[in-house]
Chains A and B, each alone.
Chain A
Amino acid sequence: MTSALDITQAVNPPRAVFVNFPLGHQTGKPHQPDLQRQIVRDALRAFETIGKPGTIVELPYVWDANDRQWEATDYTGDFLPPRPPKEDADLVEAERRARFGESNVK
């Protein structure tokens, strides 16, 4: 599965399925199970249909029918989320550990 066609072409894996969505949505949009399922099914089907090493199947899904230009500016400028300070990251982790403390985990 990939959304980064140029990177995948460079890596040249045995088989791949490309969906032209922004990073973080390789198997679909949030809370759209039907779309997610179609993409995953298409990807799995490629295990059976691809017969030539290095094939990349391009899926036809469109990210936003009203915005055919999103690729022009995506992944530029301030794309990268600010990295949280270590103290904040530690806090998030401590909260998670407290929520799922050892006594709560199977």
Chain B
Amino acid sequence: MPVEYIPRTRELYSGYTPYRWVVNRDTPPWTPLAKPLAQSKVAVMSSGGILYRDQPRFHREDASYRAIPKTATQDDLSVWHFGYRTADAEADHNCVFPLARLRELEAEGVIGELADPAYSFMGGVYSARKVREELAPGIADELKRAHVEAFYLVPA
């Protein structure tokens, strides 16, 4: 049985005002993939709180995101997040931010192109409104300008 995160989050954060989970009952919006993946430009974003080199860390209620060069390697990256156990992601960022794997899949032609930059934010943002009205539109604008055709989101 998969972990039931909604009730367990309520228990773990019992000292706080209960989180209002996002519940969408309508059929989600749908954009079909226009071309095969092998010809598509794919961008990646992780909510794992990944930082590149000397980028500033995240703060409480921080709906900002960081642009990370797609060539970044393990030594370039660190993790800043309070909502999950980050030790494994710190040891190998590919646990939540599979940049090295995506570069390999790009080289093998599985995806047409890995978009540069990749993105990360710190997913422990309590305000769903901030995510919906600030973070998401900002990213969507960047992706449209870059002609990205598939967006791979990795929540941590």
A: residues with CB less than 8 A from B are 1-7, 10-14, 18, 20, 22-31, 33, 36-37, 39-41, 43-45, 47-48, 51, 53-54, 71, 74-76, 79-81, 83, 89, 92-93, 96-97, 99-102, 105
Interface size class of B (residues with CB under 8 A): 35 or more
By the criterion CB–CB under 8 Å, are B2 and A79 in contact? no
Given A40-B98, A81-B82; A10-B155 close (CB under 8 Å)? no
Name the contact of B96 in the complex, choosing from A6, A14, A26, A101 (C-beta under 8 A): A26
Q: A12 to B86: give the CA distance in the assembly, Å.
A: 26
Chain B residues within an 8 Å CB radius of A4: 2-3, 5, 155
By the criterion CB–CB under 8 Å, are A44 and B89 in contact? no
Query: A-B pairs with CB below 8 Å: how many?
Result: 159
Chain B residues within an 8 Å CB radius of A26: 95-96, 154-156
**Which secondary structure characterizes the binding site on chain B?**
loop
By the criterion CB–CB under 8 Å, are B85 and A79 in contact? yes
Given A30-B92, A40-B101; A12-B28 close (CB under 8 Å)? yes
**18 A-B pairs with C-beta separation under 8 A:** A1-B153, A1-B155, A2-B155, A3-B155, A6-B4, A7-B6, A10-B21, A14-B29, A27-B98, A27-B101, A30-B94, A31-B92, A44-B42, A47-B40, A48-B33, A53-B28, A71-B3, A97-B54
Given A12-B25, A47-B150, A83-B82; A25-B98 close (CB under 8 Å)? no
Q: A74 to B110: give the CA distance in the assembly, Å.
A: 35
Which chain B residues in 77-108 approach chain A with CB under 8 Å?
78, 82-86, 88-89, 91-92, 94-98, 100-102, 104-105
Given A24-B95, A24-B156; A71-B31 close (CB under 8 Å)? no
By the criterion CB–CB under 8 Å, are B37 and A79 in contact? no
Name the contact of A76 in the complex, choosing from B11, B54, B110, B154 (C-beta under 8 A): B11
Given A54-B27, A75-B8; A96-B152 close (CB under 8 Å)? no
Chain A residues within an 8 Å CB radius of B6: 6-7, 10
